[in-house]
Amino acid sequence: MLARVVRIAVVVVILGLVVTLALAFRRDPHDIRTGTVNKPAPAFTLGRLDGSGQASLADYSGKVVVVNFFASWCLPCIQENPALVRVYERYRSSDVVMLGINFQESRENGLAYVQRMGISWTSVADDDGRVALSYGVFGPPETFFIGPDGIIAGRHIGPIDEETLVTAIEKLRGQAATR
């Protein structure tokens, strides 16, 4: 009787490990669901890189906000930029807002990068890194998708492509439409 129970327990443990491994391998390593995801987006007010005042997350309340952490010294940021530009052009007249947060560099370098790369959405400077820390950023590029309800719905670590951006944005717009 005991041996039978033990045999069943061993099978259950092995099945559990197999299921855990299967789930782990299915996960997108760029989609990290720890920390701030599914929680209210930390509020911030930061100075614009072009010196034209400040921008707050609260200014975009009720909209889908794509927050992108970038830096000029970050090669994957340069790699993902064309996708960001295309997606910005696609949604610029809609309820979708893109916001760039410059990560660990001088405002001069950040501004030069923004101008060189044709970035026309609002870009702000996180001078002391507090906003990046409050979002749990590891390093640029990182992109957060914030819903109209102010909740962080998703996060992408590393260079992002157009399809991933559009899919995440459309999902949030769909949720907003059904509310």
CA distance 45 to 57: 7
The CA distances from residue 168 to 41, 85, 146, in Å, are: 16, 16, 10
Q: How far is the CB of 17 from another protein (least distance, A)?
A: 8
Q: How far is the CB of 10 from another protein (least distance, A)?
A: 6
The CA distances from residue 84 to 7, 20, 22, 163, 178, in Å, are: 54, 34, 32, 11, 26
* Radius of gyration for the alpha carbons in the chain, expressed in angstroms and rounded: 20
Choosing from 38, 133, 167, 170, the residue that interacts with another protein (CB under 8 A) is 133
CA distance 12 to 145: 38
Three-state DSSP at 67 gives strand
Choosing from 58, 115, 138, 163, the residue that interacts with another protein (CB under 8 A) is 138
Could you give the string, one character per residue 64-103, with x where binding to another protein holds by CB under 8 A and - elsewhere? Answer: ----------------------------------------
Q: Is 9 in the site for another protein (CB under 8 A)?
A: yes
Q: Which is nearer to another protein, 14 or 89 (CB)?
A: 14
Q: Is 13 in the site for another protein (CB under 8 A)?
A: yes
Residues lying near another protein in the complex (CB under 8 A) are found at 2-3, 6-7, 9-10, 13, 17, 34-36, 39, 42, 104, 128-130, 132-139
